[in-house]
Amino acid sequence: MQGQLGGALGRHVLLEAYGCKAEVLDSVKGVEKTMIDAALAAGAEIREVAFHKFSPQGVSGVVVISESHLAIHTWPELGYAAIDVFTCGESVNPWDAVNYLIEMFGAESVTANEVKRGIFQGDMTVKVS
């Protein structure tokens, strides 16, 4: 149960996508479809979907998957999106979704960092003190 997880329960990629087209980031239907398709591209199982369009611009939304979640917040006026891809277990690789999203949003520049979530050292009896 080590592998890519390195003893953690999950892998959480924080993706900053810059230089995206404003009209892409301002379409709630388009952003929702892309986020769902990214989850599916990683082989995740979708459980809940909730998106919201802001006025005058911007989209926020989440896709809850069996393996955790994907989330996005867009600033079309800045060409920027803050994206999270958090997956648990060995069967899904968050980077598959991340790479899909970078391509679909046409980001000119990105930073992406993976954070391990739920690190249990030694026994699993919770008392970390």
Cite the active site residues: 68, 73, 88
Q: Which is nearer to a second copy, 40 or 49 (CB)?
A: 49
Q: What are phi and psi of 89, to 5 degrees?
A: 85, 170
CB 3 to a second copy: min, Å? 18
6-32 per-residue burial string, b: 16 or more CB within 10 A, e: under 16: eebebbbbebebeebeeebbbbbeebb
Q: Which is nearer to a second copy, 27 or 60 (CB)?
A: 60
CB 82 to a second copy: min, Å? 5
Tokens representing 8?
């953690």
Q: Are 5 and 119 in contact (CB under 8 A)?
A: no
Name residue 66's amino acid.
Answer: S
Alpha-carbon 80 to chain mean position: 15
CB 96 to a second copy: min, Å? 19
Tokens representing 85?
């891809």
Binding site for a second copy (CB under 8 A): 9-10, 12, 14, 16, 18-19, 47-52, 54, 60-62, 64, 66, 68-69, 71, 73, 75, 78-80, 82, 84, 86, 88, 108-109, 115, 117-120, 124, 126-129
Q: Which is nearer to a second copy, 3 or 124 (CB)?
A: 124
